[in-house]
Structure formats: structure tokens, C-alpha cells
């Protein structure tokens, strides 16, 4: 750089150089400077009388490499405003990458308009950049439109689209696209495999598809790099196969913080507290620096295991490592105190937070107040929660449940009326189950499935056997002004029961029934599923919004604490 500056000074001071030749020489200096000192290169750009599009592209790329995502967008605006030089395909691709990194959606849309206006819409490089931009911004509709318009799709384009679907939880679309990719004769790369495997993990119920992808890697002798192996660990853990997750994890020759964290979080969501903490210890012994996710895993494990002292130890360890806790870490600690029924300590902890609690933390407190029948405290928490999310039905349901826990039916009825007056609709329970590689979804009270009549017949038999076993339905959980008989019927229309019924219809022992639910499993469904696992001698795994429940012989892995 010292020599480069001397040459720069010589060019500027040389009296006989013409402006075009000086611009040419300065652009050559800029090429070297952009990869060593981007501020210097950016200043150089302003001194060039006739900058070429190559000079702009060089600085834009240098800014991206430096992590300055907004800089390229500013330069592109200047370039377009000056109308010289014209942007080329490299300019557009670089700027779209910046828009994706900077979460600049509107700016990206403007660049897309410029792509169309400049006639570069059919360029593969630009199309791939547009596809990456929309998938990174989780706009799969626009991404698919770009993808469908591509006449020549390379493996990068396929991978981006599959990953985009996986990122937003569109599992069936991701897996269908992966199969379509194979039909087109395109061999998937590591990115495509990670996207497809991640789609199975997001769904939590697509284990068969995940296992098929794992077999595909083995059959085609594909390289299982760190990213692919970590995706497999994550997929097996989130699909309820923690043993297989451990097998993949143990087979990895190199493990980074992301891989260790995936295993720790996997143990945590399965309620395997001892294994989660042991894996964290092994991670430290391997001299791999724990990241934010690692600590979320151990803190969550301590919460599920009621290990308050251990949770505090890991919390202070995180602070000593100068790792700034995120809202998720604070949420884990509040959850830990609440599960241990230390509501006052949880409230003190919330009051000591350096930023405002999010709705999830307030809901955790409200659930604990309901469990401990702390009406006054619960009403204060509910007020905070409803101020933040006045249209979220879950908040009103929790408040209604709080009143129900202390038998205040008048206030409970008032909350239900308020919901009706405001037009607030509850989010229906939705459960999914994978059968023969296809994910089937069931919504509470929805009998539109093609096999609905057969499912209903199975559930009638199950209901009869469960009732004869002595089970008394927990009808208090049904917050509707109907008779007890209707409340019992409502409970048997819960989405997880429809999915379990379908599992019993389509599979036989010893096949495990695996269910994924969007909400927390209710008390009565939890008890009924325990009874079904014993009566039908079936292992049933339910992944609800909180954690995994593994039902075997009438016992749940959560020990009835979730």
C-alpha cells in the first residue's frame, strides 16, 4: 500500500497525462486497493474522471467482502443517477447480494425493476442473484416466479429454491422440487442436500423423507461435509430420532460449534437433560468455543430438568465469557424459574433485564401464574401482554384459563365475550404425520381428509377403550359454553388425536407413530396419548411447540412436566 500510494501521487502530480489516461491508470490502482483498503479505493473512485463500470464493480465487490452491505446499494444509486457508466450483469448481481445481506427488500425490488428495464432479465447470473435475494428474504412466491422463468437452471438455482422453501417451512414443496431436480438430471450439491434435509427438520414429521435423503447421500457416494452432517444431526433430532442424531454426530471427524450446538439442543428438546449437559462438557473439553445456541441448549435443558443451580452456573459462565445474552437466553432463565415455581424470582429476573421482555417471556410468566393460581400477579402480567399483542388470541385464552384455575367464571366469560366482540379468532390446532413419504395435516375439528370416515371409526374404538380404562376427560380445558357431553366430543376432535387415529389406521406395531403439533399439547390429550400407548402397545412421539413427548407403555418422557 505504501508503494501504491507513491504511484498514485506520481500519477496525480504528472503534468502531461491526459484525463482519460489518468482515469485509466487510477482505475488500475483502484483494482489493487479494493482488496487491501476499501476506504482508500472508494476515495479513489471519486477522483476518476471517467470511471468504468469495472471500477464501480470492483469497489462494490470490495465493500461486500468487507461486510459493508449498505455501501454497494449507495454506489448503485449514484451509478443509476449519473447514468454513466451503465450497470452490467456483475453490477446487478453484486448489488442484489448486498440487498439480501442488508435485508433491503424495497431496494432489491427496485434493482429487479432495473434488471427488467436494462434487458438483463434472461441472464443466468442475474437470475440466480434475484433468486437468492428473494429466498433470503423469505419471499418464495417471487423466488418461484424467477425460478420458473429460468430457461437454464444450474445446481445453484435449484439449491437456492429448495433452501428457500425449507427456510419458510414449506416442506412438501422443498421435497417435491428436490425430486423434480433429479428428474431433470441435475446432480444435487451439498447446498441442495442441506436445503432438503433442513426441510425435513423444519416439518419435524418428515422422517421417512429425511432417511431417504440420508440413503441418497450414501448411495451416490456424496461427500458428507460439515454442513450436511450437521443438517442430518438436526433433522434426526427434530424428527424424534435422537439416537440416530447421535450416530451421525459421533461419525463426524470434525465438529464445529454449530454441530455441537445441534446435538445439545437436540438432547434438550427431547428432555434428555443429563446428556445435554454432558455434551456441553465434552464440547468444552474439545476446546470448541460455545456459541449463543450452545448456551440456549444447556439453559433450556436446565429448565426442563428443574436444575436451577446448574442453570445459574451456566448463566454466569456465559457472562464471564463476555457473551452478551440475547432475549432467548433471558427467556430460558425465566422459563427455568417458572418451571421450578419460583415466580417471584422469575419476576425479579425480568425486572433486571436490560431491555423490554418480549411477549414469549410474558406468556411464560402468565402460564406460571395460572399453574400457581396467582390471580393478582397474573392479571398484571396479562395486562402487559395484551398491550403488546392486543389481537393475539393466545393471550386471551391464557387469561381465560387463569380465571378458570381459580373458578372465577364471571371474569372468564367476560374475556371470551371480549374476544368475540373484537373478532379475535383462536389459532386452530394443527398436527401432521408422515405416511409413505407424504406429510398429512389435520386441523382440529376438520374432517375433510380423504380417509375421514375410516379415521372416525378408529377413534370411536379408541375412545371406547380409553373410557373403559377409567379415564375421566379433563373438560375444564374446553373453554366453550357448551354441555359436558359436547366438551368431551370436542376433545376427541383435537388435531393430534386425528393424526394418531390416522397413524393407527395406516401402520402396525412396531412402527412408531410420530406427530408434530403447532401448539402445546393439552393436558387431556397428553393423558389420553399415554393410555393409547399402553392399550395399543405403540410407541408414540409427539413434538409440540415446546418439546418432544415420547409415550411408551403409558409413560411420557417428560414425566408430566412440560
pLDDT for 421 equals 92
C-alpha cell of residue 518: 403447532
Contact 382, 370 (CB under 8 A): no
Report pLDDT for 434.
87
pLDDT of amino acid 85: 57
Q: Quickly state the pLDDT bin for 16 (edges 50, 70, 90).
A: low
The cell numbers describing 286, all together, are 474439545
| DSSP run (H or E) holding 540 | strand 540-543
Q: How far is CA 502 from each of CA 243, 454, 507, rounded to the nearest angstrom?
A: 26, 8, 8
d(CA 395, CA 379): 11
Mean pLDDT over 316-340 rounds to 94
User: What is the torsion angle, in degrees rounded to the nearest 10, for the CA atoms of residue 10, residue 13, residue 18 and residue 24?
Assistant: 40
Which is more confidently placed, 467 or 22? 467
Mean pLDDT of the chain: 89
pLDDT of residue 467 exceeding 90, the answer is yes
* 21-39 mean pLDDT: 80
Confirm if 318 and 329 have CB atoms less than 8 A apart: yes
**Maximum average pLDDT range among 6-10, 31-35, 507-511:** 507-511
105's grid cell: 427488500
Q: Which of 226-240, 307-321, 400-414 has the lowest mean pLDDT?
A: 400-414
pLDDT of 537-560, one tens digit each? 999 999 998 889 999 999 998 878
pLDDT at 476: 60
Class of domain 255-355: mainly alpha
Tell me the CA end-to-end span of the chain in Å, nearest whole number.
61
Confidence of residue 294 (pLDDT cuts 50, 70, 90): very high
Three-state DSSP class for 549?
Answer: strand
Over 190-251, what HEC string results? HHHHHHHHHHHHHHCCCHHHHHHHHHHHHHCCCCCCHHHHHHHHHHHHHCCCHHHHHHHHHH
Query: Which sequence spans correspond to the domains of the chain?
Result: 255-355, 358-426, 430-556
Above pLDDT 70, what percent of the chain?
96
Higher pLDDT, 83 or 116: 116
Residue 553: φ, ψ to 5°? 50, 40
pLDDT of residue 553: 96
Residue 307 and residue 166: Cα distance in Å, rounded? Answer: 34
Specify the pLDDT at position 201: 87
Cell of 559: 414425566
Distance CA 307, CA 322 (A): 23
* pTM of the model as a whole: 0.79
pLDDT-derived band at 483 (thresholds 50, 70, 90) equals low
Question: Dihedral (C-alpha) 271, 273, 279, 282: value to the nearest 10 degrees?
Answer: 180
Q: Give the model's confidence band at 347: pLDDT under 50 very low, under 70 low, under 90 confident, else very high.
A: very high
- pLDDT, tens digit (0-9, with 9 covering 90-100), for 57-104: 888 888 888 878 788 898 888 888 776 556 789 989 999 999 988 888
Residue 91 and residue 57 in contact, taking contact as beta carbons nearer than 8 Å: yes
The yes-or-no verdict on residue 562 having pLDDT over 90 is no
Other Cβ atoms within 10 Å of 376 Cβ, number: 7
H helices within 423-522, ranges in order? 452-468, 484-491, 495-506
Residue 397 has pLDDT above 60, yes or no: yes
Residue 102: other Cβ atoms inside 10 A: 16
Q: Where do the H-state alpha helices sit in 358-440?
A: 359-371, 375-388, 393-405, 409-422
If one counts every other C-beta atom within 10 angstroms of the C-beta of residue 119, the result is: 8
Looking at 30-44, 349-363, 383-397, 466-480, which range is the least confident one?
Answer: 466-480
Whether the pLDDT of residue 378 is over 80: the answer is yes
Using omega within 30 degrees of 0 as the cis cutoff, is the peptide bond preceding 485 cis?
A: no
- With H, G, I as helix, E, B as strand and everything else as coil, classify residue 551: strand
pLDDT at residue number 477: 58
Highest mean pLDDT, choosing among 197-206, 273-282, 418-427 = 273-282
The secondary structure of 299-353 as a DSSP string is HHHHHHHT-HHHHHHHHHHHHHTTPPP-HHHHHHHHHHHHHTT-HHHHHHHHHT-
Widest pairwise Cα distance in the chain: 103
Q: Assign residue 440 a region (left: φ > 0; alpha: ψ between -120 and 50; beta: otherwise).
A: beta
pLDDT score, position 501:
97
Is the pLDDT reported for residue 298 higher than 90? yes
What is the per-residue pLDDT across 437-447, written as a single tens digit (0 to 9) for each? 788 999 998 99
Q: How far apart are CA 33 and CA 27, in angstroms?
A: 10
Residue 371 has pLDDT above 80, yes or no: yes
> 452: Cβ–Cβ under 8 A, 6 or more apart, which residues?
none
SS3 content of the chain, % helix, strand, coil (to 5): 65, 5, 30
Half-sphere exposure of 386 (CA within 13 A, CB side): 18
Q: Give CA–CA dist 492/444, Å, rounded.
A: 9
pLDDT the model gives residue 20? 73
Coil, strand or helix at 431? strand
Per-residue pLDDT reduced to its tens digit, 242-259: 999 999 999 999 999 999
Q: How far apart are CA 296 and CA 315, in angstroms?
A: 10
* Closest to 433 (Cα-Cα) out of 365, 357, 515, 493: 515
Q: Look at residue 426 in the predicted model and tell me its pLDDT.
A: 83
The predicted pLDDT at position 17 comes to 65
Amino acid at each position: 500500500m505504501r508503494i501504491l500510494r507513491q504511484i498514485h501521487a506520481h500519477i496525480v502530480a504528472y503534468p502531461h497525462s491526459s484525463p482519460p489516461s489518468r482515469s485509466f491508470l487510477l482505475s488500475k490502482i483502484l483494482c489493487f486497493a479494493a482488496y487491501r483498503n476499501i476506504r482508500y479505493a472508494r476515495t479513489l473512485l471519486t477522483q476518476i474522471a471517467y470511471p468504468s463500470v469495472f471500477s464501480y464493480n470492483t469497489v462494490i465487490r470490495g465493500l461486500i467482502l468487507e461486510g459493508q452491505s449498505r455501501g454497494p446499494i449507495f454506489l448503485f444509486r449514484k451509478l443509476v443517477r449519473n447514468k454513466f457508466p451503465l450497470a452490467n450483469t456483475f453490477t446487478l448481481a453484486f448489488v442484489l447480494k448486498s440487498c439480501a445481506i442488508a435485508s433491503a427488500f424495497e431496494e432489491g425490488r427496485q434493482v429487479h425493476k432495473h434488471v427488467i428495464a436494462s434487458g438483463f432479465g434472461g441472464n443466468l447470473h442475474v437470475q440466480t442473484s434475484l433468486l437468492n435475494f428473494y429466498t433470503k428474504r423469505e419471499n418464495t412466491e417471487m423466488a418461484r416466479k424467477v425460478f420458473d422463468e429460468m430457461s437454464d437452471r444450474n445446481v445453484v438455482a435449484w439449491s437456492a429454491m429448495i433452501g428457500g422453501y425449507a427456510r419458510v417451512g414449506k416442506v412438501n414443496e422443498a421435497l417435491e422440487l428436490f425430486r423434480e431436480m433429479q428428474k431433470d438430471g441435475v446432480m444435487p450439491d451439498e447446498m441442495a442436500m442441506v436445503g432438503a434435509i433442513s426441510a425435513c427438520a423444519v416439518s419435524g414429521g418428515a422422517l421417512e423423507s429425511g432417511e431417504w435423503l440420508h440413503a441418497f447421500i450414501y448411495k451416490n457416494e456424496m461427500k458428507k461435509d460439515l454442513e450436511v452432517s450437521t443438517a442430518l444431526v438436526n433433522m434426526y433430532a427434530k424428527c424424534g430420532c435422537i439416537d440416530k442424531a447421535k450416530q451421525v454426530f459421533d461419525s463426524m471427524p470434525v465438529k464445529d460449534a454449530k454441530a455441537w450446538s445441534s446435538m445439545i439442543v437436540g438432547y434438550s428438546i427431547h428432555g434428555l437433560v443429563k446428556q445435554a449437559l454432558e455434551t456441553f462438557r465434552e464440547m468444552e473439553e474439545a476446546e470448541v468455543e460455545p456459541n449463543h445456541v450452545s448456551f440456549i441448549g444447556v439453559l433450556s435443558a436446565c429448565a426442563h430438568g428443574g436444575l436451577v443451580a446448574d442453570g445459574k452456573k451456566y448463566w454466569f459462565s456465559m457472562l464471564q465469557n463476555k457473551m452478551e445474552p440475547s432475549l432467548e437466553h433471558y427467556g430460558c432463565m425465566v422459563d427455568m424459574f417458572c418451571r421450578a415455581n419460583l415466580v417471584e424470582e422469575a419476576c425479579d429476573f425480568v425486572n433486571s433485564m436490560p431491555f423490554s421482555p418480549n411477549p414469549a417471556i410474558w406468556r411464560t410468566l402468565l402460564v406460571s401464574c395460572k399453574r400457581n393460581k396467582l390471580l393478582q400477579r397474573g392479571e398484571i402480567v396479562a395486562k402487559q401482554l395484551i398491550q403488546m399483542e392486543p389481537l393475539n388470541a393466545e393471550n386471551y385464552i391464557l387469561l381465560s384459563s387463569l380465571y378458570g384455575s381459580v373458578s372465577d367464571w364471571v371474569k372468564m366469560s367476560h374475556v371470551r365475550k371480549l374476544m368475540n366482540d373484537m373478532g379475535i379468532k383462536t389459532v386452530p390446532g394443527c398436527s401432521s404425520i408422515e405416511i409413505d413419504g407424504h406429510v398429512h395435516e389435520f386441523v382440529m375439528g376438520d374432517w375433510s381428509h380423504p380417509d375421514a370416515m375410516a379415521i372416525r371409526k378408529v377413534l370411536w374404538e379408541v375412545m371406547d377403550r380409553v373410557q373403559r380404562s377409567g379415564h375421566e376427560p379433563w373438560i375444564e380445558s374446553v373453554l366453550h359454553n357448551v354441555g359436558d357431553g359436547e366438551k368431551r366430543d370436542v376433545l376427541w376432535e383435537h388435531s393430534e388425536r386425528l393424526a394418531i387415529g390416522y397413524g393407527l389406521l395406516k401402520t402396525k406395531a412396531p412402527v412408531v407413530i410420530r406427530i408434530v403439533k403447532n401448539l402445546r399439547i393439552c393436558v387431556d390429550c397428553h393423558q389420553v396419548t399415554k393410555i393409547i400407548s399402553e392399550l395399543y402397545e405403540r410407541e408414540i412421539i409427539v413434538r409440540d411447540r415446546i418439546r418432544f413427548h415420547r409415550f411408551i407403555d403409558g409413560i411420557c418422557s417428560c414425566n408430566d412436566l412440560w
